A and B are shown apart, each in its own frame.
Chain A
């Protein structure tokens, strides 16, 4: 292991929500929740104001609305996040060519090549400058930065003083720092592994470190067990890898208990699809073949795949196909692992003329209002379900950027059956006024997705 804290981990704070607050001045200081706003959506990011109400990433949107009913609920604007992410990654690449992005808002940087003699003070200064530059180039986004002698410790360090913090872990102090932390801080330890470790009596990293490698291997298998034994001691030799020859991009989740509820499986698939799409977009890749992997309660594992006519990096397209593949899979008896992957990778995307709304709608798997939501006796329940292809309305999703010929740029505050309400403000204006228009108002257009990045 290296002797200097030259592995740096940068994590943008509440990234999607912060971009929204930057671009929508009226939302600054207010709870903002970005995610799938349909009935089965999950939270992608909650602003810190919303987290105070107990809203976290990956919880169902319906639950978030219960906990924080007055928050602004927005659909993601990935092009804006990607643009901000690109600016941040450029800053990182100025520090070192060895930048390993983990997602749009997270990356490792290896400073050893460019600053071989840097000590803790130097790295502190570099981290401080970096955070200042990130704020400048992104128009005010904050990042938390950790630096240490390994990826493991750098990632843990960036989380210690979040948001807007900088922590440099002095070489030699790693084990002490780790000791009292819960096992979940170790990469690869999810709810399933956590439960198994708890059965062995280990809830903190120190308690895992006291277990023998043999014990861990017996419980978790050879690869996972021995890796965990090393990581628990703070030993992490994983290098920062700038470019990887990628053949497929996939994510999967193992569950603490088997899941049978189809609605929950759908919600998880949606979230997995979002993560895959984000990983593809970060890696500037696209893929043609979508795979869904289902491991059943009895460990039988099935994968189903479908191939598109052209590669995609669209969350919506991946989600639509993944849901269809999930529906074709046998999930009776319970699912212990679910995965979504994309292969047949390419570096280009054939976008469609309808911003992806059509494929989702035409195959009938567009997000429908959640049937479990309490019925509103005044609502015309079927009116919105009608599998309609009203892509105009579908694209006026909350938070979407619009342009009005008279009022200028703004964002969709809300859209109803026949009207859309827009707040006219941008990152560079004070909070702006709100106006309501007919859905087919010719003066109103979507913008944003038309901006090239």
Chain B
């Protein structure tokens, strides 16, 4: 094996393929990154039995071949290389990497012991990379990060014809995103619980590309598996991941309530004011929002500690309302609204608020993305 490759593309590809490598692998070879050079260029693969990642990139291949080296070490090295072409070659049991005047020699691991990566299921359809990236960032905003509740670290993806719905919840908030795609078959149906982390990583990696292939193994075809494949520059990124198990909570029906009050606030000033006021809301205590006919007053802190207050223009239809939120949760939702106005629909101060983006003041909300947030109940 011997090839020459662009330094930046190599570093980026190695980082992608090594990102899912386990810190404490169950078998030593899983700490490895598989390097395969052939006439098509270079392929870099990592796998932890849950998630596989494969980066393909162009390279001048002098000798075809394969080698398995420590993925973490190679990623560290590539990140630090000077701006020169990189040459790698396999000599006996060692891989030599030369870049400018830097030279590294790496031990290899037995390639024969490396498990075969799962095959990509048949492509179920194609989604534009930019709308996928936007939808994923909105969906994962509400996904759980607590590994004690693995079910909630997933995003539920529901495919129905030309529509994909993504939803997530960490119990305290929930997201619901709708997007359209081009299914391979017009009657495509499918449901998958995809780890939010994998979705977010994939969205980030393909953000600059054009189209993303989504491949969902049909129900009842053995292990639940989903694959994504997208192009970047002159290469591609491919990942497969095992689906999470379990019955996802019925998130959709939580959004159903009929609001008693509705408010519009301009998103950017709302975010800025919230960030300021939240500075005194220690340890995620509440930011209290008081909605009046033509303004909202933000307030945080308590009498014996620091306090902050700020008023913003707003429009309210319905009864005035005082409601408290964890400011981080509120900002998480506002941060992915991608709309100039925020539309808030309330029922009661103890029941969740439903947020959506809006193109203009007092306009109709765009329900392609909705974010539901449970308020904080403050005593006293």
Chain A residues closer than 8 Å to B324, beta-carbon distance: 348
Known A389-B246, A389-B247: A348·B377 in contact at CB below 8 Å: yes
Chain A residues closer than 8 Å to B210, beta-carbon distance: none
Is A298 engaged at the interface, CB distance under 8 Å to the other chain?
Answer: no
B174: nearest chain-A partner, CB-CB: A353
Q: How far is the CA of A362 from the CA of B154 in the complex (A)?
A: 13
Q: How far is the CA of A350 from the CA of B352 in the complex (A)?
A: 11
Is B169 engaged at the interface, CB distance under 8 Å to the other chain?
Answer: yes
Q: How far is the CA of A53 from the CA of B169 in the complex (A)?
A: 46
Chain A residues closer than 8 Å to B372, beta-carbon distance: 353
Residue pair B146, A389 in contact (C-beta under 8 Å):
no
Known A348-B378, A349-B376: A359·B171 in contact at CB below 8 Å: yes
Chain B residues closer than 8 Å to A351, beta-carbon distance: 172, 350, 374-377
Distance (Å) between the CB of B205 and the closest chain A CB?
29
Q: Which of B254-270 contact A (CB under 8 A)?
A: 254
Is A452 engaged at the interface, CB distance under 8 Å to the other chain?
Answer: yes
Chain A residues closer than 8 Å to B376, beta-carbon distance: 348-351
Q: How far is the CA of A392 from the CA of B254 in the complex (A)?
A: 11
- Among B246, B249, B379, the residue within 8 A (CB) of A284 is B379
Is A94 engaged at the interface, CB distance under 8 Å to the other chain?
Answer: no
Q: How far is the CA of A391 from the CA of B172 in the complex (A)?
A: 15
Residue pair A284, B380 in contact (C-beta under 8 Å):
yes
Is B110 engaged at the interface, CB distance under 8 Å to the other chain?
Answer: no
Chain A residues closer than 8 Å to B174, beta-carbon distance: 353
Known A310-B284, A353-B352: A359·B149 in contact at CB below 8 Å: yes
Q: Which of A244-296 contact B (CB under 8 A)?
A: 284-286
Chain A residues closer than 8 Å to B100, beta-carbon distance: none
B284: nearest chain-A partner, CB-CB: A310
Distance (Å) between the CB of B56 and the closest chain A CB?
38
Chain A residues closer than 8 Å to B284, beta-carbon distance: 310
Residue pair B152, A362 in contact (C-beta under 8 Å):
yes
Chain A residues closer than 8 Å to B173, beta-carbon distance: 353
Interface residues on A, range: 20 to 34
Residue pair A391, B249 in contact (C-beta under 8 Å):
yes
Chain A residues closer than 8 Å to B250, beta-carbon distance: 391-392
Q: How far is the CA of A384 from the CA of B350 in the complex (A)?
A: 31
Residue pair B350, A450 in contact (C-beta under 8 Å):
yes
Q: Which of B155-184 contact A (CB under 8 A)?
A: 169, 171-174
- Per-position contact with B for A304-343: 1 when CB-CB < 8 Å, else 0? 0000011000000000000000000000000000000000
Instruction: Name, among B250, B285, B379, the residue most crowded by chain A CB atoms within 10 Å (CB to CB).
Output: B379
Q: How far is the CA of A284 from the CA of B151 in the complex (A)?
A: 32
Distance (Å) between the CB of A318 and the closest chain B CB?
15
Chain A residues closer than 8 Å to B52, beta-carbon distance: none
Instruction: Name, among A351, A363, A451, the residue most crowded by chain B CB atoms within 10 Å (CB to CB).
Output: A351
Q: How far is the CA of A352 from the CA of B372 in the complex (A)?
A: 11
Q: Which of B356-376 contact A (CB under 8 A)?
A: 372, 374-376
B171: nearest chain-A partner, CB-CB: A352
Is A358 engaged at the interface, CB distance under 8 Å to the other chain?
Answer: yes
Known A284-B380, A350-B376, A353-B171: A363·B349 in contact at CB below 8 Å: no
- Among A309, A347, A349, A350, the residue within 8 A (CB) of B146 is A309
Is B107 engaged at the interface, CB distance under 8 Å to the other chain?
Answer: no
B170: nearest chain-A partner, CB-CB: A309
Distance (Å) between the CB of B191 and the closest chain A CB?
15
Chain A residues closer than 8 Å to B254, beta-carbon distance: 353
Distance (Å) between the CB of A438 and the closest chain B CB?
15
Chain A residues closer than 8 Å to B374, beta-carbon distance: 350-353
B149: nearest chain-A partner, CB-CB: A362
Chain B residues closer than 8 Å to A349, beta-carbon distance: 376-377, 379
Residue pair A348, B285 in contact (C-beta under 8 Å):
yes
Q: How far is the CA of A77 from the CA of B172 in the complex (A)?
A: 22
Chain A residues closer than 8 Å to B352, beta-carbon distance: 353
Distance (Å) between the CB of B261 and the closest chain A CB?
14
Q: Which of B306-352 contact A (CB under 8 A)?
A: 324, 326, 348-352
- Among A310, A347, A354, A389, the residue within 8 A (CB) of B326 is A310
B254: nearest chain-A partner, CB-CB: A353
Residue pair B169, A353 in contact (C-beta under 8 Å):
yes
Is B148 engaged at the interface, CB distance under 8 Å to the other chain?
Answer: yes
Residue pair B247, A285 in contact (C-beta under 8 Å):
no
Chain A residues closer than 8 Å to B146, beta-carbon distance: 309
Chain B residues closer than 8 Å to A309, beta-carbon distance: 146, 172
Distance (Å) between the CB of A46 and the closest chain B CB?
30
Q: How far is the CA of A113 from the CA of B153 in the complex (A)?
A: 56
Known A353-B171, A358-B249, A391-B250: A348·B350 in contact at CB below 8 Å: no
Is A388 engaged at the interface, CB distance under 8 Å to the other chain?
Answer: yes
- Please list the residues of chain B having a beta carbon within 8 angstroms of any beta carbon in chain A: 146, 148-149, 151-152, 169, 171-174, 246-250, 254, 283-286, 324, 326, 348-352, 372, 374-380
List 17 A–B pairs whose Cβ atoms lie within 8 Å, in order of A's numbering.
A309-B146, A348-B286, A348-B324, A348-B376, A348-B377, A350-B172, A350-B374, A351-B172, A353-B173, A353-B174, A353-B372, A353-B374, A358-B171, A389-B246, A389-B247, A392-B250, A452-B350
In order of increasing CB-CB distance, the 4 nearest A-B pairs are: A352-B171, A284-B379, A347-B379, A452-B350
- Please list the residues of chain A having a beta carbon within 8 angstroms of any beta carbon in chain B: 284-286, 309-310, 346-354, 358-359, 362-363, 388-392, 450-452
